[in-house]
Amino acid sequence: MAANARQELAEKYKFAFPAPVEIRLSATTYEFCQLTGRPWWQASVYRGRMIYLQPIRVLRSRGILATTLRHELVHQLVEEQSRGNSPLWLSEALAIYHSGEIALLKPARKKIEPAELKWNQLEKRLESTTGQADAERLYFHLYHLGQFLETRFSAEKIARLLQRLGEKAPFAPACQEVLGESAAVIEKNWLQYAVAKIR
């Protein structure tokens, strides 16, 4: 399952995966929490070419094994190509968009202000998520950000953006060079898209 997902993602982005990835299966949720420092409701963590998973039986019972693997494999792709220089919000948006987990997200309806969807605010929310419901709302918004970016610019351009980040190009100049628009304009268009798309 992981190998197939990895191949599919590599072909879409025209990337080779130069580095192997190791998958560590936890025997219990407690072990997963101890290993990763993450809460019980989080399914997985990607860290240093290692995917840490909750017990397989837990992921299967929740119907999220395939989507969880894809999510973390996208994180590997982004980290490898950007050499760790991708903003967290971008990596997470692409991971959620390509994982297929949007079908499983049913966040509680809550009014959101456009200012909360700015990139720096999404970054802060990722670093301070306090519970499962909060995480689901955030992932719902990030899915739409991933959708916006790939629809507006294409997978090929997103791949090139990651490569430029991997060449140590700062994010804003890389956007202008690769995507043909300034980061400020892209963010403004994202906020307009989000207001119209996210109800």
Which residues are CB-contacts of 131 (< 8 A; sequence separation ≥ 6)? Answer: 41
Q: Where are the alpha helices (DSSP H) in 103-179?
A: 119-127, 132-153, 155-166, 171-174
- CA distances for 62 relative to 6, 37, 42, 47, angstroms: 22, 21, 12, 23
Number of structural domains the chain divides into: 1
Domain that holds residue 36: 2-197
pLDDT tens, position by position, 162-173: 999 999 999 999
pLDDT tens, position by position, 29-79: 999 999 999 999 999 999 988 999 999 999 999 999 999 999 999 999 999
CA distance 100 to 98: 6
Q: Is the model more confident about 50 or about 113?
A: 50
Most confidently predicted of 8-12, 125-129, 148-152: 148-152
Report the share of the chain in percent with pLDDT over 70.
95
Tell whether the model's pLDDT for residue 101 goes beyond 80: yes
What is the average pLDDT across 76-97?
95
